[in-house]
Amino acid sequence: MDKHNVRLSSAEIGGLWTTFIQGSMTVCLIKYFLYHLRDEDIKTILKKSDHIYSGQMKQIKEIFLQEKIPIPDAFGDEDLNLSAPPLFYDPFALTFVYAMSRMNMINFSFITSNIARDDVRSFFSNCLSDALKQYNEATQLMLEKGMYDRPPMVVYPSKNEYVEKTTYLTKIIGEKRPLNVLEITDMFFNIERNYFAIVLCMGFQQVVQDKEILEFIKDGRNISEKQITFINDLFKHENLMGTTSIPMEVTGSTVSPFSDKLILTLFHALNSIDITLIGHAQGLSMRTDLVAFYTKTIGEIFLYAAKGFKMLVERGWMQEPPSNLDRNRLRNEHK
């Protein structure tokens, strides 16, 4: 990348710093999947993903070295046990790329909108483009393999209508109005996200030895199951059908392929994006029962995430993001 005289802003440092750490974690997961994969179609997509994430980390290193900013401690071989038997079957590796590409499209679009410096803006624009390519390829292969569960279908509207009564938001007595397509969309992808989380929880429950982390994972699975149950019940009530249960994607292995540090950090990252997406769903919901559900769920996930954060800190695994200089402390130290 070309050298620029303009210093990096806090937004640019933060975006690069977060992307580097999460990228190094993702590379470890992809390397493990690639080591055990037998399906050549899925392997092709994961090889592309590995190349993309590794390239992004290399570019971030170059920027940080140029700016004389310490390179964050990355996840690496010490967090990976390739000799461990497969913990997940091949289809889950494809689901992983699909899920991560969806999350990255959200993260990278948000980060890019906060970037001004040309080389960094170009970098994140490419990251966003790569995430979209990964999403398209993963989705297409899932469709071809019969793995993709489409959102519910609704009858096309015959005319434009306007909300006439405030009961559109709430109705204390009697039947509530039907769900609109915005609400259905967020509810469906909430279920999809939580199925993904449950598979991760099931796998890691089998291999984690730390009792506190094990209980933390069990709690996370419980939170996901409660969300799925609530939304499925609403879908069934509206004759949209609850989404079908995903095939078993976890093997019988009891040997952990990843360090506890990586597993706990992965949960921390997933909690962050989940809070963001549930907040988005809450903002678009026009039924008070849904708003109440999302409000309660965000609070529950926030407390859960805080517990995970505390565990990371206590174990010395939580890397501190670059911070503003404490000038008061600096002044006091030189008195």
Closest CA to 31 of 74, 2, 62: 74
Residue 245 pLDDT: 59
Same domain, yes or no, for 198 and 275? yes
Same domain, yes or no, for 227 and 99? no
pLDDT in tens, 198-207: 999 999 999 9
Question: With left for phi above 0 and alpha for psi between -120 and 50, is residue 233 left, alpha or beta?
Answer: alpha
Residue 173 pLDDT: 47
253 CB contacts (<8 Å, ≥6 apart)? Answer: 84, 85, 86, 87, 206, 207
pLDDT in tens, 252-261: 999 999 999 9
Same domain, yes or no, for 190 and 139? no
Average pLDDT taken over every residue of the chain: 92
Question: Domain for residue 190, yes or no?
Answer: yes
Segment 291-308 mean pLDDT: 96
Residue 169 pLDDT: 67
pLDDT in tens, 38-94: 999 999 999 999 999 999 999 999 999 999 999 999 999 999 999 999 999 999 999
Residue 170 pLDDT: 64
Confidence label for 335 from pLDDT (cuts 50, 70 and 90)? low
Structural domains in the chain (count): 2
- Encoding tokens for residue 51? 């190349």
The one-character DSSP state at 83 is T
pTM (two decimals): 0.91
Same domain, yes or no, for 65 and 195? no
Same domain, yes or no, for 221 and 300? yes
Residue 186 pLDDT: 95
In terms of residue numbers, what domain contains 58? Answer: 8-147
Confidence check: pLDDT of 172 > 60? no
Label residues 7-39 b or e (16+ Cβ within 10 Å = b). ebeeebbebbbbbbbbbbbbbbbbbbbbebbeb
Q: 10 Å Cβ neighbour count for 97?
A: 25
Which of 136-150, 175-189, 236-250 comes out lowest in average pLDDT? 236-250
